Structure 1
């Protein structure tokens, strides 16, 4: 596979980066993927569209109907704006939505921003905020150029929109709640390429790329998974409402994120309401098909994949239990994986990795002990293998997800693990082990965990 990327210039994203700047008011950015989920919510959207049409002609803003090819996007944009504003009104005490109405920003199309965040946004917002319409309330922001500094802000007040009195009346009349509105994965790019960064949380820039047979295949795979999860029977019974004040179970859209401008680096699946949850809370609160769940986690993933990469078989013992450090498995695991990811030797322990290890042990001694226990892969430590192995790991997880989908088993991915209904745990474990063995040419290790 050709992993070089001809065009790796940072490009505009979905708009959230442009709205991180001022954050004096801390309003959440517009989510252009919000949609009406239920028949009642769709009826409300239809009423708003009719109101917008009537107002446009009454105010002299339109003399003829939309072209047939332009009408769907117009209606989708209204649906996205109203759904997001309504959702915020129904879930937050200060439900203002930060949105960019800059003509320059809206005209700058890119693959990462849904079409519902394009040039139609500004005239639609202006129309719905007209005092004679009253669907939206708008507070205009200040003009200015974005900060050139990474992760910095402009210090400018952003334009915000919120539910106007007419929309509030429609919501109250319909008796809608937050569950009537959800997120759709059908309007976003699911294959992301970033210029640097180890993972999703790094502040790396998304960059454009030309499609290839590989990216087209990756997109089709993630889209198939998203379509399967969109109709899955998922619920979350919050074990701690104070910890999770807002869990949107309609937020199920996944995307694969590749790193360092290459499609053989990274590639993990990110997204879904279940990923930010603490592991114990997933086991306590998640329900799939009405069942409690089990977590299935690949064990010793990076070292075993590194053995596979050098065409050697991993030992049949726990690779993290090395001589003289048998009682400090977590320390060995942290140092071992850091050494696999690093591109040069380090002289300090990874954060929070000592785990009770006596102070007499230096990190260099731990590294040497690991190298002595694993001579077949010692020469591949500190060679920056982490993201390359993560690519292999992500391919395994995607194949596991697609295989389970074909068997009618709902699975929720969390990096190198999945969550399934308890009754499906053994079958899912078999699939994970089979896919790993086919990929790595050695048995896979899968740990199953439940909440009691």
Structure 2
């Protein structure tokens, strides 16, 4: 397969709408794709669909036009194409800033003013974004308009990445949002964004993987069609959020349902998980507020799927006993706590490509202090001799791909049966009444793809659920 890197100057996932927020996953190469709410990227694919949001966009464009005329900022009128791109860019910025106002996001939105990025042709960038973007940002940030505020980015010679520009809603835009009573449903996500993403390999801990352009093949086209069919199915689904059952501080954007399948390490057999969708960013305790087709939900997830996939890959049968319970701690009062840490360690030994000398981040209290990382890895090797040769080889990235293949097929089959299923990596959120049907799908798909029946467990949340 022929692939060519896009020459981006920034090491951020994208400055033009390819990032999603959410909790970081340190064990995989997609961790810099999922950013915290404090590190959000400009989403160029938001559009106004309600009367209120459209009214705000019109007023902003009129204000900009009057400002340009009064200050004689233009010697000649923009061509039709240039004017169309100008208006579409302003609309995208306004919609993303309105989304910040509605959802209470106050930490700014990262966006690149780099000429190299704004002019690069890429499947990941909206075509209307061009070299005039910095001028548009400066125009909207002018004190007279006060539509946005911005902190200009800069190149940091002492860092591995540039500091992107950050923008916030300005006083005028906040006032217009209030005057027109813009609601979360007035702004939606437009479908044309690329949904099959390829990323480069990280060069080190502090490095962020780059977006990679690629030549389409029948396989990439098939993957894109699957994701688009899933997105289309979810876009029309009856999904609600009950704030009484799950009080949250800010509105939940239940219309943010666009999924992207992200492949890593320059390979379409690495990674491949589905990212995006508001439910992925909900805290576990808030998922009780989800309603699908007016019904309470539950979560079905595969148990210990990564090591089981590794056993299948190695042509071995996994043990019947718990994979994460070391016999050395079988009688230890803290064995349940240690199990949590051993699970993190197992993830680490599959994703790392060199011997582990330190315990994984966040396991200080969940791994025994009197055993070193090397000793604990040795215990794992003795417990799992059939797959130990694959430890510390980076096989985890491929296991993640195998997991993603299973989840995509589960979603496609659920779709054919009219079942709304919301993916969270190795799990799905579904209406509780469809539990047995979806469980049967998940068991059959795992057996078909791996030769093993990967167990499926059920989780429910909320008062009255059982």
- TM-score norm. by structure 1 comes to 0.78
Say if 2:422 is the partner of 1:412: yes
Say if 2:316 is the partner of 1:312: yes
Q: C-alpha separation between the residues in 2 aligned to 1:440 and 1:411?
A: 22
Say if 2:284 is the partner of 1:293: no
Secondary structure at 1:208's aligned position in 2?
strand
Report the aligned-residue RMSD: 4.1
Quote the offset at 1:80 in angstroms: 1.6
Match of 1:336 among 346, 371, 390: 346
Q: C-alpha separation between the residues in 1 aligned to 2:215 and 2:269?
A: 15
Say if 2:307 is the partner of 1:303: yes
What are the within-5 Å matches in structure 2 for residues 11-22 of structure 1? 14-15=14-15
Corresponding position of 1:162? 170
Structure 2 unaligned regions, length at least 5: 18-37
Q: C-alpha separation between the residues in 2 aligned to 1:231 and 1:316?
A: 41
Q: C-alpha separation between the residues in 2 aligned to 1:83 and 1:294?
A: 33
Corresponding position of 2:269? 264
Corresponding position of 1:37? 49
Q: C-alpha separation between the residues in 1 aligned to 2:419 and 2:230?
A: 11
Deviation digits for residues 28-84 of structure 1, max 9, x if unmatched? 6543122213354345546666787899899777658726xx786555434323322
Corresponding position of 1:438? 448
Deviation digits for residues 250-291 of structure 1, max 9, x if unmatched? 222221222222221111111222223232332x22222222
What are the within-5 Å matches in structure 2 for residues 360-439 of structure 1? 361-439=371-449
Secondary structure at 2:262's aligned position in 1?
strand
Secondary structure at 1:117's aligned position in 2?
coil
Give the 3 Å change call, closer, same or farther, for CA 358–56 of structure 1 in structure 2.
closer
Match of 1:112 among 118, 124, 146: 124
Match of 2:459 among 445, 449, 452: 449
Quote the offset at 1:95 in angstroms: 9.4
Q: C-alpha separation between the residues in 2 aligned to 1:145 and 1:338?
A: 33
Give the 3 Å change call, closer, same or farther, for CA 96–375 of structure 1 in structure 2.
closer
Give the 3 Å change call, closer, same or farther, for CA 219–11 of structure 1 in structure 2.
farther
Corresponding position of 1:22? none
Match of 1:225 among 230, 233, 253: 230
Secondary structure at 1:245's aligned position in 2?
coil
**What is the aligned residue count?**
431
Q: Which moved more, 1:86-95 or 1:223-232?
A: 86-95
Say if 2:258 is the partner of 1:253: yes
Structure 1 unaligned regions, length at least 5: 18-25
Does structure 1 retain, via aligned residues, the 8 Å contact 2:42–2:111?
yes
Give the 3 Å change call, closer, same or farther, for CA 42–346 of structure 1 in structure 2.
same
Does structure 1 retain, via aligned residues, the 8 Å contact 2:154–2:162?
no
Q: C-alpha separation between the residues in 2 aligned to 1:145 and 1:361?
A: 43
Deviation digits for residues 377-426 of structure 1, max 9, x if unmatched? 22222222110111111111111112212222111111111111111222
Q: C-alpha separation between the residues in 2 aligned to 1:118 and 1:445?
A: 50
